Structure 1
Amino acid sequence: YGRVCPIETPEGPNIGLIVSLAAYAKVNQYGLIETPYRKVDHKKVTDQADYVTAYIEDDIFVGQANTPIESNKLSTDQVYGRLKDDYVFMDSDKVEYMDVSPMQVVSISAALVPFLEHDDANRALMGSNMMRQAVPLLVTEAPLVGTGMEPAVARDSRACVTARTSGKVIYASADMIAIKPEHSKEPDIYHLIKYRRSNQDTCVNQVPIVESGMDIKKGDVIADGPATNNGQLALGKNLLVAFMSWEGYNYEDAILVSEKIVEDDELTSVFIEEFEVEARDTKLGPEEITRDIPNVGTDALEHIDNDGVVIPSTMVRPGDILVCKVSPKGEQQLSPEERLLKVIFGKKAEDVTDTSMRVPPGVYGKIIGTRVFVRREKLSKPEEDRRKKEIDAEMNYNLDALKEFRKETSKKGSETEEFCKLMEKHIKEKFAREKEMLKSSGELPVTVNKVVKVHIALKRRLQVGDKLSGRHGNKGVVARILPREDMPYMPDGTPVDVVLSPLGVPSRMNIGQILETMLGWAGKQLDTQMYCPVFDSAAEDNKDYWAYWTKKGKKRGEITIDDVLKDMEKPTSEKPGVIQMIQLAKDHLKAKGVPEEYLPDDYCRITLYDGRTGEKFHEKVTIGYLYILKLIHLVEDKVHARSTGPYSLITRQPLGGKALFGGQRFGEMEVWALEGYGAAYTLQEMLTVKSDDFTGRTKMYEAIIKGDFPPQPGVPESFKVLVKELQALALEVDLLSEPKPGEAKKTAEEPAEKPAVKKKTVKAEK
């Protein structure tokens, strides 16, 4: 309890073996996990937190975090809590400790799920694990309904840039921020990461959120990272969802999505893929990276520079050359005529083969950078000194230019002076790095002469087959992207963004998504972010809430969101339920003049209309705003098709998997399926020419090219392997073909040597 999270653990064989540390836990010097408890001294709750190991906790009673407290004292005679492994009531004067927070049971990942207490543990596990699979989006958006942990997670994960000192921003650009500290003359410089590739090929990019002239305190977020928004964790988008069935397109957890989301780039992400090619020393000679490659037209080389590398900013598609490379061919016997031509015209291009790196299937993007690494010998001392002098001269030239600029702008005040100091520091650092690089030699492996790395940026829009998910384990696959005019729409004409299946809720018991949807609608209308801490969030319905305000002298229609937020800061205040927040939002809209029929009921249900016919749907539908994440399982990375390709040497069957450009496995059960439908010829092809009948497949290829009828299938390689295995068991098996009239029977394949055993024959049917 409070040490490892009961929710966040992998699904599958490692379930319960890999666990996460709970939110407030820490590991002590002996390697034991400790959790903090608030000290209670004679009913008085102190601010002292003691870290306790499990064996000490065995002997103490711990009260719950939500035990009623008034003016720092336990207000009830009996307190409910834990003693050893039992839950009991204890006299309040005997209580020694109580929980620090209701959140201390779970890990950080589970603490990001709003209304976690309304979700079944299985789905909460999926929800907390899937947040790790969310892809950083092009434009980020913080959740309307959060738990209050979002800013802490964004800051502590170091994805954002935070100010090291308090001071004033004197310069802010896309890739650099400079702050003048309060107690120092030297500016503090922050270099931002721009479009860097992560290990999962996603794009890591930092964006400044401060402007020149702003005052900054130590620890403030000054730049957003990937998947953060104004210093808050922002993994997905707040989308208008409706829980209803639509023509069977959201059957079995499928999701129906509006075209608006694709057009507005709401769930679009940028990926950066890296491709690497090496030029090595081979037995036949060195490989070369050069623009001069055999049998390639000039059109295919128009985007290649003189060194044989693709030019940055080029748009590329599958099959385009990225790096031109030639490898030496083995010596072959030449005829006298060829030898004569070789003597006359010199070395022929035929001595090398084209081994260029091309864009793989499914990759359409823009070249954002190329890097060439060359093996270089360590410079001699005179050469190194000469290069150092050149670098110093270049640095001095830059500093002189800066001095001239300083003279011209000296009248303009202190900010320009700060900028000049900043540039001077920048120039000195840059040239110091260049000098340092002179000392290092290229760290390339022994046989590698040159390495070229190419980075391609791909813009991945949402498409059919992509996996989407909420924070409650409510995952699904996009089944159809509908035009926005065909989506169900509300009485005021607003079409919904996403249609989710209502059948995914009751059996999964993750009701948190419904409460999040309802509260999300209220938050959107009131333009307020709602925080629902874990195990301490809003109740579904607080029936006494409006009576509480009546006692304070305010009627329901007069209360604003500001009044509610101000009141909630008091420790003795009543908290509104989800339904009360919806009622508050409806009052707010009515005050703006929105008609009653345009508003949902207190449970956020409204009559929707069919976008195609304009007719009403029979039942009211729950609508609202749900935070939806796009996960890394993208269909573009998984879709794969094969024409002809590599075969396994042993079985002579096509290889498997996308990486090897393999075929689809047609297994035992798939065979039964075709047998059940009587698809005999399809099945015969699957098991022979499409698999391991390697003489038959070349004949089939010829027949298709020539336009002839397909030939009869031959003997598959797997049958020959079976025959050989039986021969290893000293059983000679021959496959006999049925003779034509007047012909003797003949075997399909004569064995090399006849073993001296009794012969069995297997009659093959036509």
Structure 2
Amino acid sequence: MEGFDRLGRRKRKDYSKLPKVLELPNLIEIQKKSYDEFLQKDIPPEKRQNIGLQATFNEIFPIESTRGDVSLEFVSYALGEPKYTVIECKERGMTYGASLRFTVRMVIAEGEGSNKKVKEVKEQEVYACEIPLMTDRGTFIINGAERVIVNQLHRSPGVSFDESEVVLSAPIGKAYTAKIVPYRGSWLEFEFDSNGIIYARIDKKRKILATIILRALGYTTNESILKLFYKVIEVDIRNKEKLINKKIAKKVVIEETNYTINAGEDINEEVYGNLQKSKLKTIEIVDPSEIEDKITIIPTLLKDNVNPTQEDALIEIYRKMRPGQPVTIDSARFFFENMFFNPKRYDLEKVGRYKINKKLGFNFSLNDRTLRKEDIIGTLKYLLDLSNGKGEKDDIDHFGNRRVRSVGELVENQFRIGLVRMEKYIKEKMSMVDINEVMPIDIINTKPIVASLREFFGTSQLSQFMDQTNPLAELTHKRRLSALGPGGLDRERAGIEVRDVHYTHYGRMCPIETPEGPNIGLISSLTTYARINELGFIETPYRKVVNGVVTNTIEYLTADEEDEFIIAQASAVLDEKGRFVDKLLQARYKGDFPLVPPEKINYMDVSPMQIVSVSTALIPFLEHDDANRALMGSNYQRQAVPLIRPEAPIIGTGIEYKVSYDSKVIVTALNSGVVEYVDSRRIEIFTDDGNIDVYNLIKYERTNQNTCIDQRPIVKKGQKVFKGQVIADSSCTDMGELALGQNVLVALVPWRGYNFEDAIVISEKLLKEDKFTSIYIEEFSIEARDTKLGEEEITRDIPNVSEDALKNLDENGIVRVGAEVNPGDILVGKVTPKGETESTPEEKLLRAIFGEKAKDVKNASLKVPPGTSGIVIDVKVFSRKESMSKAKISELKKKIKKEYEKMKENILNMKNQEKKILKEIYKDKKELDEKIAIAEKKAKVRISEIETKMEKEIQRIEEGDSLPPGVIKLVKVYIAKKRKISVGDKLSGRHGNKGVIAKIVKEEDMPYLPDGTPVDIVLNPLGVPGRMNIGQILEAHLGWAAKTLNYYVSSPVFDGAKEEDIKLALKEAGLPESGKTKLFDGITGEPFDEEVTVGYMYIMKLIHMVDDKIHARSTGPYSLITQQPLGGRAQFGGQRFGEMEVWALEAYGAAHTLQEILTIKSDDVEGRTKTYEAIVKGKSPPLPGLPESFNVLVKELQGLALDVDLVKENEKKKKK
């Protein structure tokens, strides 16, 4: 049944039952959209919105001098074009970016106050920095390496309320804390003590009474504060019952008796007696219904002894925040206002204002981004209400309280840091120079911007080296959500709650895909349909339900909004009118799953796939796997290496094409047309509108993980192609579909103990047919530097090296492309000057005869490291212009021109030949003219391409390459190695069923089916029941049926093939419905006792290959202090013989073996040298000596001022 649609996409038998309501969004849009909004690159300055870079400039500017006579205003910014292409940046180790320039206006004023007049205006464009640009794949090229900025999940700014550990002693109630957290600025927290008194803390410093903050805001009297919180009623003074034990709301001074009652105090018998003596008719009291048996602000008010003036409160705050510093009322006021009400110092961001409005029921503008008095009062009111059992505390793990900072926002924050530093410099400079004589550029220093951007892209925890093992790994990395990083959580301190799955993750963050190690739950992935809104909250789509009828209206909801609605599952059954069939439906409401009638439902899921991430959505029969194994399955797909013969899975989930399309690894036709020319490197399509589209394919390019990207054309000459059709596959795709592994025939049966404990037995057939062969490309580079002793030189003339060792080097000392190299072979010959020693008379004579040639140089060539071999596939040489003479430059230019002229000539000859052939084929003049016009156009396109290439190469020779300081020449050599599958390689299925190859068995010895077909892989059946990943069994059953009937399957997650579908497919294929068959032993020919599960399973080869792990050492590098061998394969280290291993030998009593290991095989420097000599000469090894670690111990004891003497055994006896 295998077939393809009009766009060349493979047709699959679809087992899903649910209609597709919504197409998957672009999977890397999250990165591109965020950065585009930050840069607003293609929008004219006057039309730019006040977001991203524009907002940052507007925020910092205008910058005014301290005297106020000059200000620097921002006009606009402009981005240049990138100097080099993405490929050139990768080759040269440069950053792909564009120059950022901004125009500023300097306004110089004269006069004071209202007489101030503009004296002069100067406008100038200033170069800021090179700002990295995002490639069309959502990545950045920083110093030649492809990097990804990971999205950060952090706590949303705003106000939050949480339970306190404090136990209240006086009033009955719970103590809570309130926090007002800004995006940038000082935190303000309110908390109770055990007596019910409310304190404020600013920036987690010393406690201040909450009422002092209110007084500092201008509510100086107790009356004004009480009126903010409570209703005040007037009571007749004669009504004793209504007054006794109530709180007075207004200060009363009785002149007759000189008696004062403060607002907030209790009216007891004594107070009432005094009140009766006054001339007052009524008394204002706090409404008892609002304060009786409740936690109130009154105890705090009464504890506040400060004279109730705003100034005193401000001074009190200043003293608490800056103890020991002299204080004036002006400095105290400035300090307090700056802390919360200055937009430059305090910023809630739109999201912070939104959260405060939502929680406290305000309706202020989202652009009102500093604190307001109402916010502080509202927070205190809510805190008191909460303690009295009204309102809800916040869950900090709820996705309404966690938001995503994407790449644009992260870079914007970094850019702001640079601008703030620049502002400080400008202000200093303004006061130092004569402002009338300078231009803006003289007082602007943009180095801080450059430094902060470089620091972020180069070293930030969120700027990561892209995982490029395969296209899925790349895509997942761009969609990753990390709770770590600056302003986020700390891996060591993050508890279980933060890492755990929360009900608000539904449709937003994948509950399955997360690392297995210490980062579990802190790093996760965005789900398939999720998107991020302008406030940074993750939204997920739902279908609107109106009066029990499901509409096709799609609405995106945040976690906060979703809490108000009841939502049905995507699998709920509907009739043709969109009504729910069942009378009661299992629905979701917050974290519960109630059964509700259809009319109560507000929304419905769009797809069962919406709760998982892309990696997880690629696992068929996910619904039959245990979550722990599904987690492994998701992670292992990202580790699959590209194979040389990619095969799409027989059992897919239907999103394989979408993944490879969005990860931009396949080539699709930009326009409809006919294929004119195709070879392994390029495709030319003659479009319907008469142009020629040229597609240059990537050939054997190394990725960050040393795997290989290689594009292959899948169209033929003369084929009609449509816009959007796949015309070239990549190294991990098959007909445009993601292909991470191979479909192989698997039997689940124990095999002679070789598949014990997850080991795998494979057939030699897989080796012969290159089923799991991959290409591994390594890059080796060497620099020739300008050293103190002279310049290093890349040359073929290396001292003390045989001619045989130089056989693969060209005249410049660089290995030729195509050479086969093995460990120890020279790749690039390099000599470096030796330290100048006193010359002997002979050397002086030689120097006099031969000049500088006889100068002392040492061999510093680049050699192939141990364990590496392969074929040189590419060599790149970069050199400075200064390092080449004029004659050499002109010679190279001539050579290039000659080469390209020859190529042009060939093209013109081919064109003339084609014309001759066309004249013989086509007799109709019109048709002939058309074909000749195409041939002419083709030749023109190729010649213009050649001319462009030639110009670029000549320009490069004339300008030279930009290399790091001190480097004269840089050579990069790429070695490719075909890695066949071998014992020790790690294989895995898509269900977390991993294992290591234990044996490769001859084809004829493998178990075989009744028809004689030998199986490819034998897995242990015991690996299934305990792991509970039954998906692999269902995959094998359906795979067997689909392979037999020759079709491909799409079985989406939670909506795939059911048991009866699989049985039916097996029946159609004429296979046993149980999916089991009689299996025969390939060695004895006997059948196995029981029937065995056999089927086609999709198996991947993971990047953990044995060639990267196998390691042996005889002698090698040693640690400088302990003189013990280094550890690890990368350092060519030895095997560690640790504490427990020593115990094992002690237990055996193997004293001599132990002594040998601890001395001559470790740090007995003299002994190991002599032993090596003895082995070489064939003599007996000497007795072990003193280990160096003992000397280290002695030195440490001497460092403690202890005098240590070593006395030998025989000397001790002599003394006796």
Measured against the shorter chain, the TM-score band is: 0.7 to 0.9
Q: State the SS of the aligned residue for 2:604.
A: strand
Q: Tell me if the contact between 1:399 and 1:424 (Cα under 8 Å) persists in the aligned partners.
A: no
Q: Alpha-carbon deviations, 1:739-765, whole Å to 9, x = none?
A: 1798447xxxxxxxxxxxxxxxxxxxx
Shift of 1:205: 0.7
Q: Equivalents in 1 of 2:548, 2:617: separation in Å?
A: 29
The structure whose residues are more often helix, as a share, is 2
Q: State the SS of the aligned residue for 1:47.
A: strand
Q: State the SS of the aligned residue for 2:1134.
A: coil
Partner of 1:18: 523
Q: Tell me if the contact between 1:402 and 1:420 (Cα under 8 Å) persists in the aligned partners.
A: no
Partner of 2:803: 298
Matched, 1:269 2:785: no
Partner of 2:1053: 534
Shift of 1:536: 0.7
Partner of 1:223: 728
Shift of 1:42: 2.5
Task: Please list, as runs of the form range in 1=range in 2, the aligned pairs for 1:67-78 lying within 5 A after superposition.
Answer: 67-71=572-576, 72-78=578-584
Task: Please list, as runs of the form range in 1=range in 2, the aligned pairs for 1:314-463 lying within 5 A after superposition.
Answer: 314-336=819-841, 339=844, 343=848, 351-377=856-882, 406=911, 409-410=914-915, 412=928, 414-415=930-931, 417-439=933-955, 441-463=960-982
Q: Equivalents in 2 of 1:295, 1:198: separation in Å?
A: 37
Shift of 1:499: 0.8
Closer, same or farther: CA 682–349 of 1 in aligned 2, 3 Å:
farther
Q: State the SS of the aligned residue for 1:479.
A: strand
Q: Equivalents in 2 of 1:341, 1:500: separation in Å?
A: 72
Moved more, 346-355 or 365-374: 346-355
- AA in 2 matched with 1:218: K
Matched, 1:32 2:537: yes
Partner of 1:683: 1154
Matched, 1:93 2:599: yes
Q: Alpha-carbon deviations, 1:104-143, whole Å to 9, x = none?
A: 0001110000000111111101101111111000101111
- AA in 2 matched with 1:414: E
Q: State the SS of the aligned residue for 2:1157.
A: helix
Partner of 2:1069: 585
Count of aligned pairs: 696
Q: Equivalents in 1 of 2:657, 2:1207: separation in Å?
A: 77
Moved more, 107-116 or 688-697: 688-697
Partner of 1:548: none
Q: Tell me if the contact between 2:748 and 2:1092 (Cα under 8 Å) persists in the aligned partners.
A: yes
Partner of 1:239: 744
Partner of 2:1191: 720
Closer, same or farther: CA 389–449 of 1 in aligned 2, 3 Å:
closer
Q: TM-score, normalized by length of structure 2?
A: 0.55
Q: Tell me if the contact between 1:5 and 1:107 (Cα under 8 Å) persists in the aligned partners.
A: yes
Partner of 1:739: 1210
Partner of 2:589: 83
Partner of 1:601: 1072
Q: State the SS of the aligned residue for 2:596.
A: strand
Q: Alpha-carbon deviations, 1:541-570, whole Å to 9, x = none?
A: xxxxxxxxxxxxxxxxxxxxxxxxxxxxxx
Larger of the two Rg values belongs to structure? 2
Shift of 1:253: 0.9
Q: Equivalents in 2 of 1:404, 1:240: separation in Å?
A: 52
Shift of 1:340: 5.0
Task: Please list, as runs of the form range in 1=range in 2, the aligned pairs for 1:631-642 lying within 5 A after superposition.
Answer: 631-642=1102-1113
Q: State the SS of the aligned residue for 2:1094.
A: strand
Shift of 1:502: 1.1
Q: Equivalents in 2 of 1:531, 1:731: separation in Å?
A: 77
Q: Equivalents in 2 of 1:708, 1:253: separation in Å?
A: 46
Q: Alpha-carbon deviations, 1:352-407, whole Å to 9, x = none?
A: 11111111112221111212112114999999999999999998887687667656
Q: State the SS of the aligned residue for 1:55.
A: helix
Q: State the SS of the aligned residue for 2:1206.
A: strand
Partner of 2:1163: 692
Closer, same or farther: CA 397–269 of 1 in aligned 2, 3 Å:
closer
Q: State the SS of the aligned residue for 2:542.
A: strand
Partner of 2:35: none
Matched, 1:108 2:614: yes
Shift of 1:723: 2.1
Partner of 2:283: none
Closer, same or farther: CA 67–656 of 1 in aligned 2, 3 Å:
same
Q: Alpha-carbon deviations, 1:248-291, whole Å to 9, x = none?
A: 11111111111111111000011111111111111221111111
Closer, same or farther: CA 616–350 of 1 in aligned 2, 3 Å:
farther
Partner of 1:139: 645
Matched, 1:708 2:1179: yes
- AA in 2 matched with 1:163: A
- AA in 1 matched with 2:862: M
Q: Tell me if the contact between 1:362 and 1:636 (Cα under 8 Å) persists in the aligned partners.
A: yes
Q: Tell me if the contact between 2:914 and 2:935 (Cα under 8 Å) persists in the aligned partners.
A: no
Q: Equivalents in 1 of 2:555, 2:728: separation in Å?
A: 36
Q: Equivalents in 2 of 1:683, 1:453: separation in Å?
A: 45
Q: Tell me if the contact between 1:487 and 1:611 (Cα under 8 Å) persists in the aligned partners.
A: yes
Q: Equivalents in 2 of 1:403, 1:628: separation in Å?
A: 50
Q: Structure 2: give runs of 5+ residues left out of the alignment.
A: 1-505, 916-926
Q: Equivalents in 2 of 1:384, 1:636: separation in Å?
A: 43
Closer, same or farther: CA 36–337 of 1 in aligned 2, 3 Å:
closer
Moved more, 334-343 or 115-124: 334-343
Q: Alpha-carbon deviations, 1:598-636, whole Å to 9, x = none?
A: xx6322112222212222222221111110000111110
Closer, same or farther: CA 635–392 of 1 in aligned 2, 3 Å:
closer
Q: Tell me if the contact between 2:639 and 2:1102 (Cα under 8 Å) persists in the aligned partners.
A: yes
Q: Equivalents in 1 of 2:1169, 2:706: separation in Å?
A: 39
Q: Equivalents in 1 of 2:883, 2:1153: separation in Å?
A: 64
Moved more, 297-306 or 371-380: 371-380
Q: Structure 1: give runs of 5+ residues left out of the alignment.
A: 541-575, 587-599, 746-766
Does 1 or 2 have the higher relative contact order (CA < 8 Å, sep 6+)?
1
Identity of aligned residues (%): 55
Closer, same or farther: CA 382–292 of 1 in aligned 2, 3 Å:
closer
Q: Equivalents in 1 of 2:658, 2:1159: separation in Å?
A: 60
Q: Equivalents in 1 of 2:897, 2:1168: separation in Å?
A: 68
Moved more, 350-359 or 689-698: 350-359
- AA in 2 matched with 1:430: I
Q: Tell me if the contact between 1:406 and 1:417 (Cα under 8 Å) persists in the aligned partners.
A: no
Task: Give RMSD over aligned pairs.
Answer: 2.7
Partner of 1:504: 1023
- AA in 2 matched with 1:643: S
Q: Equivalents in 2 of 1:199, 1:344: separation in Å?
A: 51
Moved more, 344-353 or 225-234: 344-353
Q: Tell me if the contact between 1:170 and 1:419 (Cα under 8 Å) persists in the aligned partners.
A: no
Partner of 1:62: 567
Task: Please list, as runs of the form range in 1=range in 2, the aligned pairs for 1:280-299 lying within 5 A after superposition.
Answer: 280-299=785-804
Shift of 1:511: 0.8
- AA in 2 matched with 1:285: G
Partner of 2:1002: 483
Q: Equivalents in 1 of 2:1075, 2:979: separation in Å?
A: 34
Q: Tell me if the contact between 2:512 and 2:616 (Cα under 8 Å) persists in the aligned partners.
A: yes
Q: Equivalents in 1 of 2:830, 2:1171: separation in Å?
A: 34
Closer, same or farther: CA 615–662 of 1 in aligned 2, 3 Å:
same
Q: Equivalents in 2 of 1:224, 1:242: separation in Å?
A: 31
Q: TM-score, normalized by length of structure 1?
A: 0.86
Q: Tell me if the contact between 2:692 and 2:941 (Cα under 8 Å) persists in the aligned partners.
A: no
Q: Equivalents in 2 of 1:707, 1:170: separation in Å?
A: 70
Q: Equivalents in 2 of 1:317, 1:658: separation in Å?
A: 18
